[in-house]
Amino acid sequence: MIETTTFDVARCSDCAADVVAAWDLIGDEMQRVCPHCETVLADESSFRALTGSSLRRLGYAIEGEGPKASSCSSGGCGSCSRA
Ligand SMILES: [Zn+2]
Centre of ligand 1 from the C-alpha of residue 18, in Å = 8
User: Which run of H or of E encompasses 56?
Assistant: helix 52-57
Centre of ligand 1 from the C-alpha of residue 12, in Å = 5
Bridge partners of 54, per DSSP, are none
Task: Write down the pTM of the prediction.
Answer: 0.63
Inter-residue contact 7 to 50 (CB < 8 Å):
yes
Convert the pLDDT of each residue in 28-75 to its tens digit.
Answer: 999 999 999 999 998 889 999 999 888 888 887 766 654 554 455 555
Centre of ligand 1 from the C-alpha of residue 6, in Å = 20
Mean pLDDT in residue range 5-21: 92
